Structure 1
Amino acid sequence: MIDIPLVYKLLKEQHPDLADLPIQFVDAGLDNAMFRLGDRLSIRLPRREIAAKLIENEQTWLPIIADRLPISIPNPYRIGQPNQDYPYRWSVLPWLDGIPADQEEPDPNQAKILATFLRSLHIPAPDNAPENIFRSVPLTQRAAVIEERMQRLELQTELITSDIKQAWQMALNAPIDVEATWIHGDLHSRNILVKSGAIAGIIDWGDITSGDIATDLASIWMLFGDLDARQQAIATYANISEATLQRANGWAIAFGVMLLDLGLTNDPRYTVMGKRALQRVTEDI
């Protein structure tokens, strides 16, 4: 069980100078448990083995990319090691203040900020960048899984429209006409923090990998309900080919389908996120 007594014990043993700070439970998702540590720090502990590998990705690569990004990210402050009480590596991180963007949408003027952030992130990654069988692959390799969910959702909702199906097929047929770069890989609205309308942080970097920029560009439809804001993000990023825009639509559909399907069986927050993504893609095509 990952609880406050365990966190205190780990700190006391490995980072005793932090052990006297107050510890507050924040949230526990499928992959990680999060605690606040004092006013300025947080602690993130994996809940399962697959998540432990993602934490290691963050610990290895975020210190390398953090300085060039114009939005705060949870660059590890300290790293915890596995021991007899807990089997995985864990992180002490800066506390990033804000509300997930699925609960507080950023102001439309933040579209330029997001695009600038993505431009700063999207540079070629080294050869030893982490592989990700879900995000670093062409969209066509995810088609079977997504289309199976689309068929299920078509029976449960009215969101899998003919326009969505057509945009999906166009995305699958669009060539990849850009070189692979660093991508966040999971840039949905729950992983973007907003404070007073401004994007305050980008979190949950476990899926970081080298892949198609269209995977991250899909965040435009997951983040902004305002059509002009979406167009501004695309214009500010600049030099997005028609093929890349089609693939970005496809990734937005893929994320929307995955989130909606997850939400209908698990968490209503994901239902809303998936619905918004699909509706916004429909508005733009």
Structure 2
Amino acid sequence: MPDKPSAEVVIDVELVRALVSSQATSIADSGALPLSHVADGWDCSVWRLGEEYAVRLPRRALSAPLVLHEQDVLAGIAERIAVAGVGVPAPVFAGRPGCGYPWSWSIVPWFDGQTGLQIDPEQRRGWARPLAEALLALHVPAPPDHPVNPVRGAPLAVRSAAVDARFVSLSGRSVHDGLEGLRRWWDAALAAPRWSGAPVWIHGDLHPGNLVAEGTRLVAIIDFGDVTAGDPAYDLAVAWLAFDAVGRASFVAALADRYDAATWTRARGWAAAVTLIFLDQSDDNPEYAALGAQALIALTR
């Protein structure tokens, strides 16, 4: 199955230049800074603006509210996570609809480095402690008016139907031999006690594709579109999505006794669920297909 939803608007250099030039007058020379396309994710198109900035624009109506969530809450989150020496793309300018473009958009800091998908798992081991420290700073109780996400941070049972459908979809494919292990961890997570604490801030989509690094050095956590509050287990699934056994042990050890055994059981279940997505929906994205294969091994061997 294909990975990425189709864009619902045409986002080209002329549109991005017009939006920046007409609105971002508070950023010096913004209209004259070099502008180039970087990537299109599931939700947003990303353009580099000069040396210091990126422009982040929703590609479809479903993702338009996510940029507003980032504009509302990322400044405080970035300040907390900075203690770990890890960057967060808190918007420096909040753009609004214009020039025929229908949604809000942002200018955010640019972080030099590579996406974590391009870095070998052995080098990722160096991220374990800073990523753990960043999550310790992030996972604090959120206010009642936090952004709401119907899936991220919610009880695992809300995804049972979708997870079951992916097991069926993959049952006749080459990954079939590993599905029994994924099912075992998913079922154990469903049976584990639910999160009983106050809802804590979570990233909501934490995997190597949303980490920027320079080799062993973790530079930034990006793409907070799914930021919400709830069960931290969703973020802790990164232990299996980003790390090999050595890195995972360092990551878990760096978190000390912050999370109980039930939370780690749910985290492994969420890792299984996300792995199913990568295995089932990455036919047009080899990097995420490879991530799914790596995570399958981490979870089942």
Q: TM-score range by the shorter chain?
A: over 0.9
Aligned equivalent of 2:108: 93
Aligned equivalent of 1:261: 280
Mapped partners of 1:139, 1:114: distance in 2? 24
Aligned equivalent of 1:51: 63
Mapped partners of 1:154, 1:67: distance in 2? 45
Mapped partners of 2:183, 2:14: distance in 1? 50
TM-score normalised according to structure 1 size: 0.94
Describe the superposition over 1:176-225 as per-residue Cα deviations: whole angstroms up to 9, x where unpaired.
24422100000011001111321111111010001111100001111112
Mapped partners of 1:5, 1:255: distance in 2? 36
Aligned pairs for 1:138-217 (under 5 A) are 138-156=155-173, 157-179=175-197, 180-217=199-236
Mapped partners of 1:43, 1:144: distance in 2? 36
- On the 8 A contact 2:47/2:55 being kept in 1, the answer is yes
AA of the residue aligned to 1:220:
A
Does structure 1 residue 237 correspond to structure 2 residue 255?
A: yes
Stretches of 4+ aligned residues off by more than 4 angstroms? none
- 170-179 or 89-98, which deviates more: 170-179
Mapped partners of 1:121, 1:158: distance in 2? 36
Mapped partners of 2:146, 2:228: distance in 1? 6
Deviation at 1:126, TM superposition (A): 0.5
Mapped partners of 2:105, 2:195: distance in 1? 38
Does structure 1 residue 38 correspond to structure 2 residue 53?
A: no
Deviation at 1:136, TM superposition (A): 2.8
Q: Provide the identity percentage.
A: 37
Describe the superposition over 1:89-140 as per-residue Cα deviations: whole angstroms up to 9, x where unpaired.
1101110111111111443132111111111100001101011112131011
* Aligned partner (choices 186, 205, 220) of residue 239 of structure 2: 220
Mapped partners of 1:193, 1:147: distance in 2? 32
- 175-184 or 119-128, which deviates more: 175-184
Q: Which runs of 5+ in 1 are unaligned?
A: none
AA of the residue aligned to 1:44:
R
Mapped partners of 2:235, 2:130: distance in 1? 14
Aligned equivalent of 2:13: 4
AA of the residue aligned to 2:262:
A
Mapped partners of 1:132, 1:159: distance in 2? 33
Does structure 1 residue 118 correspond to structure 2 residue 139?
A: no
Deviation at 1:18, TM superposition (A): 0.9
* Aligned partner (choices 41, 63, 66) of residue 78 of structure 2: 66
Mapped partners of 1:167, 1:30: distance in 2? 27
- On the 8 A contact 1:159/1:275 being kept in 2, the answer is no
- What is the root-mean-square deviation of aligned Cα atoms in Å? 1.4
Describe the superposition over 1:123-174 as per-residue Cα deviations: whole angstroms up to 9, x where unpaired.
0011010111121310111111111101211211235333322221111100
Mapped partners of 2:178, 2:160: distance in 1? 15
**Residues 45/12 of structure 1: CA separation in 2 closer, same or farther (3 Å cut):** same
TM-score normalised according to structure 2 size: 0.89
Mapped partners of 2:196, 2:275: distance in 1? 24
AA of the residue aligned to 1:228:
V
- 174-183 or 31-40, which deviates more: 174-183
AA of the residue aligned to 1:79:
A
Deviation at 1:84, TM superposition (A): 4.3
- On the 8 A contact 2:36/2:48 being kept in 1, the answer is yes
Does structure 1 residue 76 correspond to structure 2 residue 91?
A: yes
Q: Which runs of 5+ in 2 are unaligned?
A: 1-9
- On the 8 A contact 1:159/1:278 being kept in 2, the answer is no
